[in-house]
Amino acid sequence: MSLTFNEELDRLTEAGLRRSMTVVESAQGPRVNINGRDTLLLCSNDYLGLANHPALKEAARAAIGKYGVGSGASRLVSGTMEPHVALEGRIARFKDAPSALLFNSGYHANIGAITALAHRHTEIFSDRLNHASIVDACILSRAKVHRYQNRDVDGLERLLKRSKARRKLVVTDGVFSMDGTIAPLVDVAGLLDRYNAMLLLDDAHATGVLGTHGKGTLEHLGVPAHPSIIQMGTLGKAAGSFGAFIAGDKALIDLLVSTSRPFIYTTALPPAACAASIAAIDIIEGEPQRRRNLLDNAAFVRDALAHAGFDTLGSESQIIPILIGDPVKTMTVTKRLLDRGVFIQGIRPPTVPDGTSRLRVSLSASHARADLEFALSMIIEAMNEQG
């Protein structure tokens, strides 16, 4: 048996696709400790610098003092605690949604929403570059799945026009997690009434980041609230905490409570994570300067990389890919950068399509300009060495 495992591992190694983990010996932040060395971190989703923020830590400590550490059971058994309900109310207000429901992660939220909404008589229309959790959810749902080309609204409309399904569910990332591009939501939302379709928007990377108040991609693009738009957001990225949510119509949320398996059959989030998330949303709403710093940092890095001649795949956000293509070369550059004190993760298939391995730079509001200048010079050096 173990020989088979080793053979599989060898195959992954030969293809340059074997993965390993880098241990971080400090809190997430613009600089971290790796192997005892001060290292610039440019691959965390802690976009606003909240993961180690004193207000979040204090909220978590206070919640542990009052509620302890574990939530004890599923929400439907004995695990619904005051911080869960308070956070759901806070999220609904933040997202201008009638109601919200927590899930233990964005992965769970996508699986939970899509499998509850899509049945045998449903057709799902999913952008080709959607996150793996959406891909997995589509398979689990047993619905008929159409994958349209990335951000191709005409292609999506052609598929919707042909569909005779009783329920049609369009699913798209708001910000594409590996390209940093933004979905054409004005046009996608324009199709919903015409084709009697619902939209599940995965706003994992836009929640807290895009829009004047950090509400996400819809606010950024000026798409008005619509009863057929369901929003997913995560609390482990810009919010610096942990967990995720679905926000939408009250009847939808009630339906998820009764039918969504990743909600029903799992222990509830720790109360401290919920308390930290509430503190994070207060900061997201109250400190717009963080968002401005983040987006300024992103524009600075994008411009410098374009000027240096790198292909950033049309990135429009705080996620900036640097296309390399070959997985082995990509990981060699990642290692060379780490040796120079800069941690930027290489991303390979199946996370991205074959032939598009890349570095994925993600910025934080807390990066100093001098750090970014240093990182850029190291990126140019390491990429030139790789040829």
Return the residue of 105, 231, 312, 330 that touches ligand PLP, per CB under 6 A: 105
- Gap between the Cα atoms of 130 and 113, Å rounded: 15
- Whether 307 is catalytic is no
Question: Which range binds ligand PLP by CB under 6 A, 142-150, 200-208, 219-227, 327-335?
Answer: 200-208
The contact pattern for ligand PLP, residues 155-174, with x = CB under 6 A and - = no contact, is ------------------x-
- Gap between the Cα atoms of 77 and 244, Å rounded: 20
Considering the complex, what minimum distance in angstroms separates the CB of residue 76 from ligand PLP?
Answer: 21
Question: Which range binds ligand PLP by CB under 6 A, 29-37, 73-81, 101-109, 153-161?
Answer: 101-109
> Among residues 71, 237, 241, 357, which one is catalytic?
237
- Gap between the Cα atoms of 294 and 292, Å rounded: 5
Q: Which is closer to ligand PLP, CB of 136 or CB of 381?
A: 136
- Whether 237 is catalytic is yes
The answer to whether 32 touches 13, Cβ cutoff 8 Å, is no
Q: 287 has which bridge partners?
A: none
Cα–Cα distances in Å, from 141 out to 119, 122, 129, 197? 6, 9, 19, 17
- Tokens (6 digits) for 298: 């992103």
Answer yes or no whether residue 106 interacts with ligand PLP by CB under 6 A: yes
229-234, strands of its sheet edge to edge: 99-103, 244-248, 229-234, 197-202, 167-173, 122-127, 144-148
- Whether 144 is catalytic is no
Please give the residue whose beta carbon sits closest to ligand PLP in the complex: 106
> Among residues 44, 99, 177, 366, which one is catalytic?
177
37-41, strands of its sheet edge to edge: 31-34, 37-41, 342-343
- Tokens (6 digits) for 183: 């979905």
Answer yes or no whether residue 302 interacts with ligand PLP by CB under 6 A: no
- Gap between the Cα atoms of 343 and 332, Å rounded: 12
Considering the complex, what minimum distance in angstroms separates the CB of residue 204 from ligand PLP?
Answer: 4
Q: Which helix (H) or strand (E) holds 214?
A: none
Question: Which range binds ligand PLP by CB under 6 A, 17-25, 102-110, 211-219, 331-339?
Answer: 102-110
The contact pattern for ligand PLP, residues 210-239, with x = CB under 6 A and - = no contact, is ------------------------x-x---
Considering the complex, what minimum distance in angstroms separates the CB of residue 201 from ligand PLP?
Answer: 10
The answer to whether 29 touches 363, Cβ cutoff 8 Å, is no
Q: Angle, to 10 degrees, between the axis of helix 271-286 and the axis of helix 82-94?
A: 20
Return the residue of 122, 133, 330, 362 that touches ligand PLP, per CB under 6 A: 133
Tell me which residues touch ligand PLP (CB under 6 A): 105-107, 110, 131, 133, 173, 177, 202, 204-205, 234, 236, 244
| Active site members | 177, 205, 237
